[in-house]
Amino acid sequence: MTQPAQVTKPLPEADDASKPFWDGAMEGRLVILRCADCKAWRMPWRHHCDQCLSDRSTWEQASGRGVVRTFGIMHQKYHPAFEVPYNVTIVELAEGPRITTNLVGVSNADIRVGMPVVVDWERHSDITLPKFRPA
Amino acid sequence: MAHALRNAGAISGLGITPMGRIYGKSATEFAADAVRAAIADSGLKHDDIDGLLINAGITGNIGGGITLGLQNYLGLKNLRLLNHMNAAGSTAAQMVQYATMAIANGMARHVVCVFSDAPLTEGSKTGAAYGGAGRIAPRPRGMAGLYAAAGYFGANTGYALAAQRHMAMYGTTQDHFGIIAVGQRQWATMNPMAQMREPITMEDYHASRWVIEPLHLLDCCLVSNGAVAVIVSSADEAKSMAQPPVYIRGMGQGHPGDTGRAGNDAETETGAKIAARTAFGMAGVGPEDVTQCQLYDCYTYTVLVTLEDYGFCKKGEGGPFVEDGKLGPGGSLPTNTGGGELSAYYMWGMTPLSEAVIQGRGQGGDRQAKNDVILCTGNGGTLAYHGALILSPHAN
Ligand SMILES: [Zn+2]
């Protein structure tokens, strides 16, 4: 009899387009795409700017600071690798764009909208994920 | 001068299948049941149908949904108008809009608009089709993988986060959501088609399990197998058909998107704001004239924020607006009088539309509410797509 394979959380895998983001994360730098024409930040990765439709861009390092825009505490077991309850949080970065993440270093009961947070890196063997903790 | 499309069209037929955990039929077969019922209801003949607009529901995404092949299954061979439409929960209202525009311009006479879905299989978890976790790759590619890595699953997450933002910005409370759930269940007790007909109390609401805070189970819509079809005809033709016409007095859409871009308030400002201007303008009415609402209610919060964006109260005051129970039976603004998606059945935008047609005809029985001006809405994505109809039994 074979044992069922251990289910792990779905860890993203870098593709060519997003490689600078993941390379930056490995080095502990939050690097985001920015429009080379109108300077709007692009999050998540996309070929065209959603403000001016330019397809020219650069990767720039963001401050890694932001505030909790909103959050929820998940109780429903959708995926076997996630222990419930856990928080799902949208952080509004100081630069403006928003990132979907989890807060660490704070109990779910203490999370508040507007709370200042700073990026905190969760390292896996071949990928590093941006999580956030209270600043 | 009144808008050319004001009262140009009317809903002349309605077909609703049994709803819920109904097994043994495909989405195509449910659709055929609903279309047959709508044709019979309207008094038309099969050959009179010259337009078909379809919306597949979640099975359109996950497999098994209705396709353009429905035309052949239904044996329709005189079609002058055909399309498979999808703007998520706003589609039902939109199908009626495009049908009305086509009819008003001589492109078709009698257009069937049908929604059908069969996401529930025997033994399946109710929310499985919508959660999406089962379809996530072990290694999602690129930055889109940040969602799955954070455990952001399905529609429940997006709406919980939107509701939380509203609570933080405006002081909206769990009690405000609860009164909506309780009121709609009261309505559902009077709807023989409703899946959930046992009354609930505020205590029941607060005791219902968390799905994702701040959403309890009783904040979330049902999932249903079934189908609904409506027929749109010209207002002139509808006057001499079998059923009392429900006139389409105003129509509008609003799609603010959900770009997550800096400065956008997609959680708390919805497409209803845009749609309201067009629909109220066409109808020549305002929120003060609306006698009942049939609002898309995928979540209790959707009802609350939609009321704000139609101007029934100021932005942020949706909670205090609903807390006296005015949406429930006996209240001053009867809303979701069939129980809605929370308590009756989840047929995307066809849930509010089907109840609006029943109410517009005066066929609501014990739950019949004042029907002079009915606001009927559809909403999709995470508050990203919105469709509006203003319906009335009167053509003036
Ligand atoms: Zn740009």
**DSSP per-residue letters across B46-61:** GGG--EEEEE-TTHHH
Question: Do B145 and A88 make contact, defined as CB atoms within 8 angstroms?
Answer: no
Exposure letters B79-94 (e unless 16+ CB within 10 A, then b): eebbebbbbbbbbbbb
Domains of chain B plus CATH, in order, are 9-121+221-392 (3.40.47.10)
Residues with Cβ within 8 Å of residue A87, at least 6 apart in sequence = A71, A72, A73, A74, A102, A103, A108, A111
pLDDT in tens, A71-107: 999 999 999 999 999 999 999 999 999 999 999 999 9
Q: Check residue A3 and give its pLDDT.
A: 54
pLDDT in tens, B335-379: 999 999 999 999 999 999 999 999 999 999 999 999 999 999 999
Q: Which of A76, A97, A114 sits opposite B211 (nearest CB)?
A: A76
- The CA distance from A37 to the nearest CA of chain B, in Å, is 17
Q: B130 an active-site residue? A: no
* Residue B345 DSSP label: -
Q: Check residue B186 and give its pLDDT.
A: 98
Q: Check residue A46 and give its pLDDT.
A: 87
Question: CA gyration radius for chain B?
Answer: 20
Q: Hey, what are B338's tokens?
A: 């069939």
Q: Closest by alpha carbon to B110, among B97, B100, B122?
A: B100
Is the predicted pLDDT of residue B320 greater than 80, yes or no?
yes
CB contacts, 8 Å: A50 with chain B: 259, 261
Residue in chain B nearest A25 by alpha carbon: B143
**Average pLDDT of chain B to the nearest whole number:** 96
Residue in chain B nearest A96 by alpha carbon: B262
- Check residues B289 and B264 and name the one with the higher pLDDT: B289
Is the predicted pLDDT of residue B253 greater than 80, yes or no?
yes
CB contacts, 8 Å: B261 with chain A: 40, 50-51, 96-97
What is d(CA A45, CA A97) in angstroms, rounded to the nearest whole number?
Answer: 11
> Count of alpha carbons within 13 Å of B347, Cβ hemisphere only?
37
Q: How far is the CA of A15 from the centre of ligand 1 (A)?
A: 23
**Residue by residue, what is the 3-state secondary structure of B275-343?**
HHHHHHHHHCCCHHHCCEEECCCCEHHHHHHHHHHCCCCCCCCHHHHHCCCCCCCCCCCCECCCCHHHH
Write down the catalytic residue from B296, B310, B345, B385.
Answer: B296
Summarize the confidence of residues B142-149 as an average pLDDT: 92
pLDDT in tens, B31-54: 999 999 999 999 999 999 999 999
What is d(CA B26, CA A97) in angstroms, rounded to the nearest whole number?
Answer: 43
Q: Check residue B125 and give its pLDDT.
A: 82
Q: Check residue A1 and give its pLDDT.
A: 46
The pTM assigned to this predicted structure is 0.96
- Structural domain boundaries in chain A: 19-134
**Residues of chain A above pLDDT 70, percent:** 96
Q: Check residue B15 and give its pLDDT.
A: 98
pLDDT in tens, B285-318: 999 999 999 999 999 999 999 999 999 999 999 9
Summarize the confidence of residues A6-18 as an average pLDDT: 89
- The CA distance from B165 to the nearest CA of chain A, in Å, is 5
In this structure, the dihedral spanned by the alpha carbons of residues B206, B210, B211 and B214, taken in order and rounded to 10 degrees, is 70
pLDDT in tens, B196-249: 999 999 999 999 999 999 999 999 999 999 999 999 999 999 999 999 999 999
Is the predicted pLDDT of residue B276 greater than 90, yes or no?
yes
Summarize the confidence of residues B309-335 as an average pLDDT: 98
Q: Which of B142, B151, B156 sits opposite A45 (nearest CB)?
A: B142
Q: Check residue B259 and give its pLDDT.
A: 66
